[in-house]
Amino acid sequence: MGMRESASWLAPGRVNLIGEHTDYNDGFVLPLAIEFGCRATVSPGPAGRLRFVSAQENDAVELRVPALQPERVTGWAAYPAGVLWALGLEDLPGLTVTVDSDVPLGAGLSSSAALTCSVAGAANDLLELGLSPRELVTVARKAENGFVGAPTGGMDQLASMLGEAGSVLFCDMRSLDVRPVPFDLDAEGLALLVVDSKAPHQHADGEYAARRRSCERAAHVLGVPALRDVTDLDGALAKLAQDSEGEELVKRARHIVTENARVTDVVALLDAGRVREIGPALTASHASMRDDFEITVPEVDVLVEALLSAGAYGARMTGGGFGGCVIALVDKDTVDAATRAAVAAAASRGFAEPRAFVTSPAAGAHALDGPDAG
């Protein structure tokens, strides 16, 4: 194994345009990398020791290489530690990992994928492992699933690693095929407004795992490998209704099957250059998350209503749910009015003051220490 003096990578967070909770159902997603990201530097450290330092945390975390075991490390350092574990090296040298992220935490913008992907890229370069970007996606996902213990799908790592400036990434989460779909809102006089509800995430981990279990059970009852494979929705829902958990399974499955269809509808509209027309699908996605998948909270529902009332073409919560951000497709010249409407609506309900920003597809993860480092 070769070793350089240090290696640095930048990996972005993501916004998901549409396709929520479909990733672990072998379905479709349409995320974009955003301009907020995590910078990671990995360098050689004292033999047998791993040291994790974050610009956002007061204390460094240190451990010995043999202690690099799933669930032995907790808190933020579990993510970078998980990446080193997921590399599966028998002779891991002592390393220091330093990270600095501006991805808002707990906002559903994948600060964790930005962290794992940046560390994976930097470690791959430092140790000269020669892993491809797709292999780094697998490493980052394994860190989260196998080390941190978060049963997430693979969308966030794909978006962070393979995102492209100017495009959303149409991902088939079964084959892991990805296709960039041009998404130049500026040219259309449009903007993608992101509004962080600042709602505290409550029970998000347990609820995420519960949704995943329901989907698996629904697929089992239907005798299909995954809900992606449902072709006759009405027939499937009638069958699920007979189950002892019928009411819940019907709702969960209906969200997944209709959400997959919405993703492919949105891709077809974008391919045809009919960008404004994706609005209703975004709003329908929100209604489905609210009523069928039951992952929204009043703080985000209020924002969606306010943004639609302010003239947005469509609006929806983005990410895993139970708080986090709402996105809205708006005319560029209405961004300020839409933001004011969202802030006023939150205030009228006594909710935290939301924070809004406009985003557009940014580049995916990349090295910072090459000749073109920026």
- Least distance to ligand GAF from the beta carbon of 263, Å? 11
Among 156, 196, 292, 301, the active-site one is 156
Q: Which is nearer to ligand GAF, 163 or 320 (CB)?
A: 320
Q: Is 354 in contact with 342 (CB distance < 8 Å)?
A: yes
CB atoms within 10 A of CB 62: 15
Tokens of 25: 């159902």
Does position 152 interact with ligand GAF (CB under 6 A)? The reply is yes
- Least distance to ligand GAF from the beta carbon of 16, Å? 6
Does position 23 interact with ligand GAF (CB under 6 A)? The reply is yes
- Least distance to ligand GAF from the beta carbon of 14, Å? 8
Place of tokens 């579990």: 78
From the list 65-73, 89-97, 147-155, 264-272, the region that binds ligand GAF by CB under 6 A is: 147-155
Does position 153 interact with ligand GAF (CB under 6 A)? The reply is yes
- Least distance to ligand GAF from the beta carbon of 2, Å? 33
Tokens of 66: 């043999």
Pick the binder of ligand GAF from 36, 73, 92, 156 (CB under 6 A): 156
Total residues in contact with ligand GAF, by rule CB under 6 A: 12
Task: Clarify whether 156 is annotated catalytic.
Answer: yes
Beta partners for residue 29, in sequence order: 171
Q: Provide the b/e sequence for 66-79 (b: ≥16 CB within 10 Å).
A: eebebeebeebbbb
For residue 313, CA distances in Å to 91, 192, 284 come to: 54, 10, 12
Pick the binder of ligand GAF from 13, 37, 319, 364 (CB under 6 A): 319
Tokens of 5: 């003096």
- Least distance to ligand GAF from the beta carbon of 163, Å? 14
Pick the binder of ligand GAF from 143, 155, 161, 191 (CB under 6 A): 155
For residue 208, CA distances in Å to 11, 128, 199, 201, 261 come to: 24, 36, 17, 11, 22
Beta partners for residue 31, in sequence order: 16
Catalytic residues: 156
* Interacting residues toward ligand GAF by CB under 6 A: 16, 20-21, 23-24, 110, 152-153, 155-156, 319-320
